[in-house]
Structure 1
Amino acid sequence: MEQTPNMKDYWKEYRGFSLHVPEKFSFPLDVFDKWAKDKNSLALFWTDGKCEKEFTFNELKTLSSKAAGAFRKIGIKKGDKVIVIVPNIPEWWEVMLALMRLNAIPIPATTLLTSKDIAYRLSAVDITAIIATDEDASKVEDAVRGMSSIPLLIIIGKRPGWIDYLEERNLAYAFEGERAFSDEPALIYFTSGTTGPPKMVLHSHASYPFAHVLTGRYWLDLRPGDIHWNLSDTGWAKAAWSSLFGPWHMGAAVFSFYKKGKFEPLSTIEILNKYPITTFCGPPTAYRMIVKELSESKLTFHSMRHFVAAGEPLNKEIIEIWKDRTGQYIYDGYGQTETVNVLASFRCIPVKPGSMGLPVPGFVVDVIDEDGNPLPPNAEGDIAIKIKPERPIGLFKEYLGNLEATEKTMRGQWYMTGDRAYKDEEGYFWFVGRADDVILTSGYRIGPFEIESVLLKHPAIKESAVVASPDEVRGEVVKAFIVLTKNYSPSDALIKELQEFVKVNTAPYKYPRKIEFVDDLPKTISGKIKRKELKLKEFGKK
């Protein structure tokens, strides 16, 4: 049931908000283990559709403490960086908690990475260990082949030359962990930009493990007894938001459905009705696909009380159809890999379908001009977060090893998100577009430069420009405008060949779903490709 919105409640909370950051902090010790005092409190409900497993906070405390003891025994220590390429199986949560107990630095990575993607990460930063499953082990082995110093290879499964995770965990003495200073490094996520290779987003213990209490409390609206299902891949930062820190800050259980293959709308509806899930987070693409599968009849979910969406803009029409069919709104949320949730539609405020909502307590967010001045209502500008005189806790420390990129995010007293919007007279934010060329498709962020670089390796490609193109289901898809070399001619067969080529040479989800062959590309006087011009053409604008 929808609660009666009251803007006074929001402004009272927003204006009176304060959150003390302790000098030292440990998410396992200070948050997770406190819920473990109730030995029956559910932390994780996992299923693959055939097998079901339930873990209490107390059980996961024991398992992750033994895993921490095992990691410490084999040489992983505070500050060590560990790539975690593990899908949403129970061991992912064990491993993440265990590494945090040691104050090692997890680098979650999607299982969609290729061996080249893994090799890039190994070259970008000093890696102590890689944790993977049988399914991804061969890619890791390809990536480390020829390295003078190979990281520890830890497998969830069995493989020659690898350390057996389960065997080591089962034999280890438990280590519950120790606290670190709140401003010390805690996690790293790789995120793509419009130019160059992916950047390393470094978060402190305060900026992610601690600050995601804001995400869990306000936008996800979680509480003890809730069971929260988030569709995000474990390699994306959204998993930290909604599959790890947000729910467990609030004492809610995480629900996980493990299934290989594409998203299936009808099975998602069945799962929402079969299990006692109370809150659900999915990308707009998932909601679009579900809406297309629904009939005109009403749809009732037995235990659901709250739906949220994030990852890309959610169009007004989908929210209105969902409300009509289910009786409940989808509450949109906005943030980045670099932040926790910073804008959202909350249950205590009137929903304006299509709006990004209002600022999360603890953040001063505004729409500013090029000089850093806040703009009046209905004027388009850059979405910015105020960082002076006080930096909000839910903001990343830096792009590791990239001072120039870090400094580019600053404009006077503001952190620049890189997105554009306007505010209405009531302070609601309305998304306009990205200031850069990053493509958001099905919740994934894809940098065009990376795809163009891959395409250039193919002998048929003279040059290319990659932009976003509108798609009814995914919101946006990758489109490549291609100029061919003289020995090649446009054909459907060549399109398929180029798509497969991209899939092989980078993460498969990045391939261009649309390809258009052109004689030349629009360029500036200095020779730079005008991607914005191509993108505007795709979206029917001049």
Structure 2
Amino acid sequence: MTNPPFPNNNIGYLCTDWQVERGLGSKTALKLIDKDENLVEISYAKLTALSNQAANLLSSLGFQRGDRIMLLLSKTIEMYAFFLGGLKLGLNSCILFNSIGEDSIVERVKDTETKAIISTSKMNFRLVKVLQKLDASFRVLLVDENQTEEQFVGIHDQLIHSSTQFSTSATDPEQYSHFHFTSGSTGKPKAVQHCHAGIIDHLRSFEDVMQANPDDLFWCTADPGWVTGTTYGIIAPWASGLTQIQLDANYDPDLWMLIIERQKINILYTAPTVFRMMAQQPEAFYQQYDLSSLKRVYTVGEPLDPNLVLWGRKVFHCEIYDTWFQTETGSIMIANRPGLEVRPGSMGKPLPYLEAAILESEDHPLPENVQGLLCIRKPWNTMFREYVGNPLVYQNKFLGNFYSSGDIAYRDEDGYYWYIGRSDDVINTAGHLVSPFEIESAVMEVPHVLDCAVVGLPDELLYEKVVAFVVHDQQAQSLRKLDMDIKLYVSKKVASLASPKEIVFTDKIPKTKSGKVMRRVLKKQYLGQDVGDLSTMEE
């Protein structure tokens, strides 16, 4: 799909009204399933009406183009309606993970000058504490309440009674649309800003990689708080006029296979972590289900082990395609896909309209089969426009005309790319990038902790697990209690996915003479490997 003649560049409009105008109003846009297998079907006409009501309600509450809002909602129709309705109104939205900690919410709100959070009363236990640390002008809009009490505003009936008609204004492609947060090896999580121009590459990448037919049923299992869940669990399939499945429940192998069987899923997009969990089941488990509707399975978020590709082919009787992109890139950059021979373990090749390169520095591209920084030539439509409030950090993400991903890879003689690892200390756990610095900062706030260092270590299920090395004081009477205190505190302050899977109590953290944590040494020691040169380590 090359620069289609959109009547309006607005992503919200293109996912809803445009589909109705194309004659798809009666087509099912969403099949929403809960943990009890209750099914709700929403047509494109209904999705359009609901998102229009959300846009009208937000407008009536005084929100204006450019305002930032956050959504703390599970996979419910309200979440989709307010995300799309906010886009139509010109708002700049961020969907948060439901497991996010209180302090992380506060930090993100302040860093981006967000004006409101849309949530439910089930989150009040967390949001009450959040509001205590924010300005009195900040509001929490509750979709399941009618009463207004101080900064909590009930909007349930107001939404129902809002008009289903809304005219989306012409939208500048460079107008900001949505943002996500990503972690670096040091410092706080950064807000990654995207704009409406991204819709071009949302659609191009979806067409080039997924190659879906109009009647295919698509299921992207990613949480919408993750860029994959927004780009390929909301925008791309609906802007393409497809029907998609969404499950508002945690991973359960029986439930997932039943959904594939009963709903006849054609294309599945998930994470290698899920594949690893699936592979724990015996092959006989999958023989109980009719999975013949599956045409293709795709993964993203971390490298897909070659053995898992072979396992997936055997179990699902279809090809398994691994893909690569980042929060900053906004859409798939490099992928295995139909029409391209799959080489298990490879990232695949860049999409036709993109140029990738392996660089050592700005002016030094590397030859084939030599490891270096994986880079993408700028610009492209889904390229992030800024790290909100961090212009210098944004500038440092580029090597001349190339975006530097921070990933180490190499390109073989046939043009396939192969992932090696990160060039920094970011931890990739279950497909989510986690900052060791952010976790260390939280651990240091726990009583009896004197020092700590956090690293990512190999894990068969999570790809990398978070491991914290902790030095404690003499007053810590129970290491079992301290272990639990640390895990609970990190889960509450940062997020549950950031909580250490293992805590190693130690007498000292290895550091350089300048005081920098030697994570390399910690990893080698943990794995029982040679720690190498220690000449720079403090005595």
Same fold, judged at TM 0.5 (above): yes
Give per-residue Cα distances to partners, 1:166-188, cap 9 Å, x unaligned: 31122122213112211121111
Which of 15, 18, 29 is residue 34 of structure 1 equivalent to?
Answer: 18
Which of 140, 143, 149 is residue 156 of structure 1 equivalent to?
Answer: 143
Q: Which amino acid aligns with 2:308?
A: I
How far off is 1:302 after superposition? Answer: 3.3
Q: Give the secondary structure class of the aligned counterpart of 1:394.
A: coil
Q: Give the secondary structure class of the aligned counterpart of 1:255.
A: strand
User: Residue in 2 aligned with 1:345?
Assistant: 336
CA distance in 2, matches of 1:184, 1:129: 20
User: Residue in 1 aligned with 2:120?
Assistant: 133
Which of 368, 379, 382 is residue 377 of structure 1 equivalent to?
Answer: 368
User: Residue in 1 aligned with 2:55?
Assistant: 68
- 1:218 counterpart = 2:205: no
- The 1:273/1:187 distance shift into structure 2, 3 A limit, reads same
How far off is 1:297 after superposition? Answer: 7.5
User: Residue in 1 aligned with 2:176?
Assistant: 185
CA distance in 1, matches of 2:522, 2:512: 13
Q: Which moved more, 1:237-246 or 1:340-349?
A: 237-246
Q: Which amino acid aligns with 1:320?
A: L
User: Residue in 1 aligned with 2:244?
Assistant: 254
User: Residue in 2 aligned with 1:165?
Assistant: 155
User: Residue in 2 aligned with 1:87?
Assistant: 74
Note if contact 1:137-1:155 (Cα within 8 Å) is conserved in structure 2: no
Note if contact 1:223-1:250 (Cα within 8 Å) is conserved in structure 2: no
Give per-residue Cα distances to partners, 1:38-67, cap 9 Å, x unaligned: 232111001113421111111111111122
Note if contact 2:100-2:492 (Cα within 8 Å) is conserved in structure 1: no
CA distance in 2, matches of 1:341, 1:467: 28
User: Residue in 2 aligned with 1:240?
Assistant: 230
Give per-residue Cα distances to partners, 1:510-541, cap 9 Å, x unaligned: 11101112222222221101123323555666
Note if contact 1:26-1:100 (Cα within 8 Å) is conserved in structure 2: yes
How far off is 1:233 after superposition? Answer: 1.5
CA distance in 2, matches of 1:303, 1:348: 20
Note if contact 1:278-1:304 (Cα within 8 Å) is conserved in structure 2: yes
User: Residue in 2 aligned with 1:356?
Assistant: 347
CA distance in 1, matches of 2:447, 2:14: 56
Note if contact 1:456-1:462 (Cα within 8 Å) is conserved in structure 2: yes
Q: Which amino acid aligns with 2:94?
A: I
Which of 474, 482, 491 is residue 486 of structure 1 equivalent to?
Answer: 474
How far off is 1:474 after superposition? Answer: 1.2
Q: Which amino acid aligns with 1:288?
A: R
How far off is 1:148 after superposition? Answer: 3.5
- The 1:294/1:220 distance shift into structure 2, 3 A limit, reads farther
Q: Give the secondary structure class of the aligned counterpart of 1:369.
A: strand
Q: Which moved more, 1:496-505 or 1:65-74?
A: 496-505
Give per-residue Cα distances to partners, 1:310-340, cap 9 Å, x unaligned: 1111111111111122222221111111111
Give per-residue Cα distances to partners, 1:430-463, cap 9 Å, x unaligned: 1000111111111222110011001101222111
User: Residue in 2 aligned with 1:277?
Assistant: 265
- The 1:28/1:125 distance shift into structure 2, 3 A limit, reads closer
Q: Which moved more, 1:503-512 or 1:434-443?
A: 503-512
Note if contact 2:68-2:92 (Cα within 8 Å) is conserved in structure 1: yes
* TM-score relative to the length of structure 2: 0.92
Q: Give the secondary structure class of the aligned counterpart of 1:180.
A: coil
Task: Give identity over the alignment, percent.
Answer: 27
Note if contact 1:437-1:532 (Cα within 8 Å) is conserved in structure 2: no
- The 1:38/1:361 distance shift into structure 2, 3 A limit, reads same
Q: Map 1:191-210 onto structure 2 (within 5 A).
A: 191-207=182-198, 209-210=199-200
Which of 6, 9, 27 is residue 25 of structure 1 equivalent to?
Answer: 9
CA distance in 1, matches of 2:67, 2:372: 40
- 1:57 counterpart = 2:44: yes
CA distance in 1, matches of 2:459, 2:311: 18
CA distance in 2, matches of 1:146, 1:109: 18
- The 1:148/1:195 distance shift into structure 2, 3 A limit, reads same
Q: Which amino acid aligns with 1:533?
A: V
- 1:289 counterpart = 2:277: yes
How far off is 1:488 after superposition? Answer: 3.3
Q: Which amino acid aligns with 1:76?
A: F
CA distance in 2, matches of 1:502, 1:38: 46
Note if contact 1:194-1:437 (Cα within 8 Å) is conserved in structure 2: yes
How far off is 1:489 after superposition? Answer: 6.8
User: Residue in 2 aligned with 1:525?
Assistant: 513
How far off is 1:352 after superposition? Answer: 0.6
How far off is 1:229 after superposition? Answer: 1.3
Q: Map 1:293-442 onto structure 2 (within 5 A).
A: 293-295=281-283, 299=287, 300-339=290-329, 340-387=331-378, 391-442=379-430
CA distance in 2, matches of 1:119, 1:28: 27
Q: Which amino acid aligns with 1:198?
A: P
- The 1:305/1:180 distance shift into structure 2, 3 A limit, reads same
How far off is 1:371 after superposition? Answer: 4.1
- The 1:272/1:538 distance shift into structure 2, 3 A limit, reads farther
Q: Give the secondary structure class of the aligned counterpart of 2:279.
A: helix
CA distance in 2, matches of 1:447, 1:28: 32
Note if contact 2:313-2:320 (Cα within 8 Å) is conserved in structure 1: yes
CA distance in 1, matches of 2:219, 2:528: 36
Q: Which moved more, 1:425-434 or 1:144-153?
A: 144-153
CA distance in 1, matches of 2:176, 2:259: 37
How far off is 1:374 after superposition? Answer: 2.3
* TM-score relative to the length of structure 1: 0.91
Give per-residue Cα distances to partners, 1:344-372, cap 9 Å, x unaligned: 10111111111100001221111111344
Q: Structure 1: 5+ residue runs without aligned partners?
A: 1-16
Q: Structure 2: 5+ residue runs without aligned partners?
A: 531-539
Give per-residue Cα distances to partners, 1:212-239, cap 9 Å, x unaligned: 1133212222232222112211211111
User: Residue in 1 aligned with 2:434?
Assistant: 446
- The 1:74/1:255 distance shift into structure 2, 3 A limit, reads same
Note if contact 1:222-1:247 (Cα within 8 Å) is conserved in structure 2: no
CA distance in 2, matches of 1:98, 1:297: 42
CA distance in 1, matches of 2:285, 2:70: 46
User: Residue in 2 aligned with 1:510?
Assistant: 498
User: Residue in 2 aligned with 1:4?
Assistant: none
Note if contact 1:68-1:176 (Cα within 8 Å) is conserved in structure 2: no
Q: Which amino acid aligns with 2:62?
A: G
Greater than 4 Å deviation, 4+ residue runs: 20-24, 296-300, 536-542
User: Residue in 2 aligned with 1:14?
Assistant: none
CA distance in 2, matches of 1:538, 1:426: 37
CA distance in 1, matches of 2:14, 2:432: 32
Q: Give the secondary structure class of the aligned counterpart of 1:25.
A: coil
CA distance in 1, matches of 2:183, 2:63: 28
How far off is 1:401 after superposition? Answer: 0.8
How far off is 1:505 after superposition? Answer: 2.7
Note if contact 1:441-1:478 (Cα within 8 Å) is conserved in structure 2: yes
CA distance in 2, matches of 1:18, 1:157: 42
Note if contact 1:216-1:249 (Cα within 8 Å) is conserved in structure 2: no
